[in-house]
Structure 1
Amino acid sequence: MNVHQIYTDSPLRNYNYIVELGNGEVAVVDPIYPKLVNEWLVENNRVLAVVLLSHGHHDHVAGVDELVQQHGAQIWGHKDSYKKIDRILEDGEKISTALGEMEVIETPGHTMDHLCFLFYESGKQVEIITMDTVFNAGIGNCKNGGNLDVFVETILDLNEKVEDQVILWPGHDYIENNLRFTLSIEPENEDAKELLEQVHKEGSVKFRTNFATERKVNLFLMTKDVEEIKKLRNKRDKW
């Protein structure tokens, strides 16, 4: 796999990700606590070459400066995500990884600088880091620098692009609450019921889904109606 997940146990239940770039070098996505990243690097005998940013919210960039100072890593991201970007990433750009390619996808809406990262192995889609665009059984909000009209178009486009087998790597562990929201709208959704039971049994941290599952339990991916997605997001904000 290209991607390794780190649960930070932060107040917002953030995830960080390590991306294998090859030759023992890795990128870390949206680091908060440098100590956790450094522990992972030592345990796995890897060198931090890149800090990769999905967007500029504080809970996604808090550890950037310290890691750059410690490792001399470059910062890659959207031009508006941080005070200094060494490599500005563009929509559709493809970057080589240890196992294939990573495609940069501009996904504005949660914030206007948000990026997602879609991974390919042998030309096949395998994983996507969506951070605060798509969560397990939900999507991000637009409360802090976002735009709902733009976000809906982003969600529709991403839902069209990403294939069923692709593993979802979100920015936060929100799956249990999101499934409860799904069931508040669709109380007879058996897939959501079964998944919630599985989460209760196995625990929510590091629980993994793919887009085939998401299209059965994530209300925002189950419709192509623009107004319906807006209504659902507004309901979720108040729920």
Structure 2
Amino acid sequence: MTAASALPGRPSGHAPQGRVTERAVSVLAPNASAMTLDGTNTWIVAEPDAGEAVVIDPGPLDEGHLRAVADAVTREERSVGLILLTHGHPDHAEGAVRFAELTGAPVRALDPALRLGDEGLSGGQVVTTGGLELRVVATPGHTSDSLSFHLPADGALLTGDTVLGRGTTIVAHPDGRLGAYLDSLRRLRSLTEGEDGAGTVLPGHGPVLADAQGAIDFYLAHRASRLAQVETAVERGARTPAEVVATVYADVDRALWPAAEYSVRAQLEYLRERGLLPGDGQEG
């Protein structure tokens, strides 16, 4: 399963290519689909005068894309000092080993199985490669190993699949859990507050969002609305995830229903754990 679900609800737009902020450059992977939107945004992040860059999510195992990322770093007279992964889905992480071979850089991730090198990665850490300050934020929910990165100098959040530039992400049940996801959204929301709060979302898929706070508020409201719709569907007799999807996502392209079912399973679990499902509330 890949990362995102282009379900309705957010404005359309084009994925970024090239320089987006003073420190962040995007290289778009050629893996566009209903699940990956325009493709995976691979991010190159570096201090303006630094000789080393950090690459976030090399993307799929596509030789042309990986070499394009390496070339983009070289053009700025830098080397790749570190590779970071937001999570382990193949559209973000499959190319990491090959990219490490091309660049000689270690790979850091929350999941030990994805690492190449001695160091792991977890929320609360600060990456300082090339003088960069990149704060690691634990954002489980989409997957259990999901991380985001706060780039305070640019007022930006690199969110992987936790917040997308278009559509809404799936909660990849059973690995992903809705309660954890809602907590992660609130954690990111807190980073947008105050005069120095992050204002921009640099997502793993889709266009850059210039209103980080508004985007996260939308996600929280969307999840609350979907939960209410799922609860109503169960009250009216839907018992399996497929039945709930057919009711709640009736206006969505059926090609996306299998992806929506992952989120519905997570929503049913969330409601059941809190005693909010009427009757037996069985998934089937």
Comparing 91-100 with 111-120, greater Cα deviation is found at 91-100
Aligned to 2:219: 220
In structure 1, which of residues 98, 106, 124 is the aligned counterpart of residue 138 of structure 2? Answer: 106
Query: SS of the residue aligned with 2:46?
Result: strand
Aligned to 1:88: 120
Aligned to 2:44: 18
Residue 148 of structure 1 contacts residue 230 of structure 1 at CA under 8 Å; is this kept in 2? no
Deviation at 1:114, TM superposition (A): 0.6
Deviation at 1:135, TM superposition (A): 1.3
Q: Structure 2: any 5+ residue segments left out of the alignment?
A: 1-21, 60-64, 231-244, 250-259, 262-284
Deviation at 1:76, TM superposition (A): 1.4
Deviation at 1:45, TM superposition (A): 1.7
Cα distance in 2 between the residues matched to 1:207 and 1:153: 23
Deviation at 1:169, TM superposition (A): 0.4
Aligned to 2:96: 64
The two structures, once aligned, show a CA RMSD in angstroms of: 2.9
Cα distance in 2 between the residues matched to 1:166 and 1:86: 33
CA distances 1:30-71 after superposition (whole Å, capped 9, x unpaired): 112312212212322210111111101111112111121122
Cα distance in 1 between the residues matched to 2:142 and 2:198: 25
Cα distance in 2 between the residues matched to 1:139 and 1:50: 29
Aligned to 1:130: 159
Q: Percent identity?
A: 23
Cα distance in 1 between the residues matched to 2:97 and 2:83: 10
Query: SS of the residue aligned with 2:53?
Result: strand
Query: SS of the residue aligned with 1:88?
Result: coil
Cα distance in 1 between the residues matched to 2:167 and 2:229: 10
Relative contact order higher in (CA < 8 Å, ≥ 6 apart): 2
Residue 109 of structure 2 contacts residue 115 of structure 2 at CA under 8 Å; is this kept in 1? no
Q: Letter of the 2:75 partner, please give it.
A: E
Structure that is richer in strand per residue? 1
Under a length normalisation based on structure 1, what TM-score does the superposition of the two structures give?
A: 0.71
Q: State how 1:161-180 maps to structure 2 within 5 Å.
A: 161-163=191-193, 165-173=198-206
Query: SS of the residue aligned with 1:168?
Result: strand
Deviation at 1:132, TM superposition (A): 0.3
Aligned to 1:199: none
Residues 1:42 and 2:74 aligned together:
yes
Cα distance in 2 between the residues matched to 1:75 and 1:100: 17
Residues 1:2 and 2:34 aligned together:
no
Query: SS of the residue aligned with 2:26?
Result: strand
Under a length normalisation based on structure 2, what TM-score does the superposition of the two structures give?
A: 0.61
Query: SS of the residue aligned with 1:26?
Result: strand
Q: How many pairs are equivalent?
A: 200
Aligned to 1:201: none
> CA 1:88 to 1:207, structure 2 compared with 1: closer, same or farther past 3 Å?
closer
Aligned to 1:210: 211
Deviation at 1:229, TM superposition (A): 6.0
Cα distance in 1 between the residues matched to 2:26 and 2:53: 13
Deviation at 1:86, TM superposition (A): 3.2
Residue 144 of structure 2 contacts residue 176 of structure 2 at CA under 8 Å; is this kept in 1? yes
Q: Letter of the 1:167 partner, please give it.
A: T
> CA 1:80 to 1:110, structure 2 compared with 1: closer, same or farther past 3 Å?
farther
Residue 110 of structure 1 contacts residue 141 of structure 1 at CA under 8 Å; is this kept in 2? yes
Residue 200 of structure 2 contacts residue 208 of structure 2 at CA under 8 Å; is this kept in 1? no
CA distances 1:66-117 after superposition (whole Å, capped 9, x unpaired): 1211221011121346154532122111222657521111100000001100
